[in-house]
Amino acid sequence: MSEDPLKICIAVHSRANYGRIKSVMEAVRAHPELELQLIVGASALLDRFGNAIDQIRADGFEPDATVYYMLEGGTPVTMAKSTGMGIINMSTILENLDPDIVLTVADRFETMSTAVTTSYMNIPLAHTQGGEVTGSIDESVRHAITKLAHVHFPATAQAAENVVRMGEDPDTVHCTGCPAIDAVADIDLSLPHDIFERYGGVGADIDPSEPYLVVVQHPVTTEHKKGREQIKETLEAVTNINMQTIWLWPNIDAGTDAVSEGLRSYREKKENSKIRFYKNFSVEDYGRIIYNTKCIIGNSSSAIREGSFFGTPAVNIGTRQQGREKANNVINVDYEANKIELAIKNQLEHGRYKSVKLYGDGNAGQKIAERLATEDITIQKKLCY
């Protein structure tokens, strides 16, 4: 047929978002029957959170629209308000872009905004990373979005089964693996010699030819008042290990200011720390960094997702990833400095694990684009029991 291509709208709303959808964006752009509509918004536009839009543009994607809607505050009430602002602004943009399908990622409040907007506007909604189990408000939101979505692209077999058990029509559930794996599956994983200079950052100098740790620890929204004490435990453990360390600033959830404040206050006091703080890396360089690290510490899903694929030793702290399917590269510990330190030491001793393809084999983007081009979507959903 010589029909108009289907307009697939993807909204990238944070630096983490981007790595998890980039391969789909590429596959949609390359597909002859699909047209990519790209919205870049929220923390992806903010310097404080690493300006992901610069990476996106550097990768050759020009947004069809940009949109600011994040509130200052990093509190539960500002997360709620940001979601409301997201809906209002996404509505204006979607009305004018008029897409055929909107594809949204995972479980953050920006995703909630996109999902609610799309649902009420009667636009078919596709969703990646549904059916996974974790802690934090993300757990509720992820499953709520599943109940709003018309097509599901879960990353694992277990997640796909969860989506079906929640009452989704099995014909709409396609286990594709996670696009986050695609982005790092086929690249040269060696560390460029200038990789740590290239991204600026603040703190100690890092030598890529020497062993280093990576820490990514986000606030847990359901425990947002404990952010500062939680981060202190990690800081203490990492300081005791005394190895050069790449530390990423946390994302923009409730509690982010407490975590950042904890980090800043540490920086003031510790003059000869071995830590360097960064806001952002390119998707591929982030892959290289966590491939080559001796251990990734904190509560980022990348330790579990890309970590299992790479076999990177990981120490997962606290409740944020509770319940998420993990390969054996991960040791779970509580928010306690000495336990964290011990777990890191164990991982340093163990070294790299065998690669496990739990979250996909690197072709998710391709599979998703193909499905979007052919899926026959009914806008009226129905609980499927």
Tell me which residues in 335-364 interact with a second copy (CB under 8 A).
none
Question: In which residue are the tokens 């998420």 written?
Answer: 324
Q: From CA 248, how far away is CA 53, in angstroms rounded?
A: 17
If one counts every other C-beta atom within 10 angstroms of the C-beta of residue 380, the result is 6
Binding-site member from 111, 113, 230, 312 for a second copy (CB under 8 A): 113
Applying the rule CB under 8 A, the residues between 228 and 287 that interact with a second copy are 252, 254, 257, 261, 264, 268
Shortest Å, Cβ 284 to a second copy: 26
* Of the residues 293, 319, 321, 366, which one makes contact with a second copy according to CB under 8 A: 319
Does 151 contact a second copy by CB under 8 A?
A: no
Which listed residue (33, 59, 148, 332) binds a second copy by CB under 8 A? 148
Contacts of 325 (CB under 8 A, 6+ apart): 132, 133, 156, 158, 159, 304, 358
Q: Which residues contact 376 (CB under 8 A, 6 or more apart)?
A: none
Beta carbon of residue 239, minimum distance to a second copy (angstroms, whole number) = 19
Question: 332 has which bridge partners?
Answer: 316
Is 157 one of the binding residues for a second copy (CB under 8 A)?
A: no
Residue 231 or 252: the one with the smaller Cβ distance to a second copy is 252
Binding residue for a second copy, selected from 240, 322, 332, 363, defined by CB under 8 A: 322
Among 59, 121, 270, 356, binds a second copy (CB under 8 A): 121
What element of type H or E holds 345?
A: helix 337-350
Binding letters toward a second copy, positions 37-76, x by CB under 8 A: ------x-xxxx----------------xxxxxxxxx-xx
Piece in contact with a second copy (CB under 8 A), picked from 158-166, 290-298, 356-364, 365-373: 158-166
User: Nearest-5° angle of CA 344, CA 347, CA 349?
Assistant: 110
Question: Taking the complex as a whole, how short is the minimal distance between the CB of residue 183 and a second copy, in angstroms?
Answer: 26
Shortest separation between residue 209's beta carbon and a second copy, angstroms: 24
Structure tokens at 383: 């609980």
- What's the rounded Cα separation, in Å, for the pair 100 and 178? 23
Q: By CB neighbour count within 10 A (0-12 exposed, 13-18 middle, 19+ buried), where does 270 fall?
A: middle
Nearer to a second copy, 267 or 345 (CB): 267
Strands 295-298 and 6-12: unpaired
What is the distance, to the nearest Å, from the Cα of residue 229 to the centroid of all Cα atoms in its chain? 24
205 binds a second copy (CB under 8 A): no
Q: Which is nearer to a second copy, 140 or 338 (CB)?
A: 140
Nearer to a second copy, 137 or 183 (CB): 137
SS3 string of 82-117?
Answer: HHHHHHHHHHHHHHHHCCCEEEEECCCHHHHHHHHH
**Total number of residues that touch a second copy (CB under 8 A):** 80
Per the rule left: phi > 0, alpha: psi between -120 and 50, beta: everything else, 281 is: beta
C-beta closer to a second copy: residue 28 or 67: 67
Name the minimum Å distance from CB 184 to a second copy.
28
- Token digits of residue 109: 């409040």
| Bridge partners for 275 per DSSP | 245
Q: Quick check: 139 binds a second copy (CB under 8 A)?
A: yes
Distance CA 169, CA 163 (A): 9
- For residues 348 and 157, the answer to whether their CB atoms sit within 8 Å is no
Which one, 48 or 57, has the nearer CB to a second copy? 48
Please report whether residue 78 would count as binding a second copy according to CB under 8 A.
yes
Q: Among candidates 286, 112, 121, 94, which has minimal Cα distance to 187? A: 286
According to CB under 8 A, which one of 81, 232, 339, 352 is a site residue for a second copy? 81
Of residues 87 and 333, the one with the C-beta less far from a second copy: 87
